[in-house]
Amino acid sequence: MHARCRAVLGRPFAGVSRVRHYRLYFLDRSDHIRHALSLECENDADALQLVEEHKGSGPLELWEGARQVARFEGEEGSA
C-alpha cells in the first residue's frame, strides 16, 4: 500500500495531522457495489496512486465523502 495511505483499521493515522477519508468501491458490471475499502490518505494524488494497484479488477469508484474523485472502467482502467 502507498506510504501515505492506509486502510482504516479503527486507529488514527500516526504521523499525519490532516488526513482525508476515502472509500474505494469495487463495482460489478451493473454498477452495484461488490465491496468497499476505507482509506486514509494525505490527498487525492496519494489516493489515486493507491487505486492504481486495483485497476483491472472491474469498475472502481473513489469517493471522499459525497465527492466522487474518480471512476475507472473495468479492464481498460480509464477514468
Highest mean pLDDT among 5-9, 55-59, 74-78: 55-59
Count how many residues are written for the chain.
79
* Ramachandran sector of residue 73 (left: φ over 0; alpha: ψ -120 to 50; beta: rest): beta
Distance, first Cα to last Cα, the chain: 21
**Torsion on CA atoms 44, 14, 3, 79, rounded to nearest 10:** -20
Higher pLDDT, 58 or 18: 58
Residue with cell 479492464: 75
Check residue 76 and give its pLDDT: 47
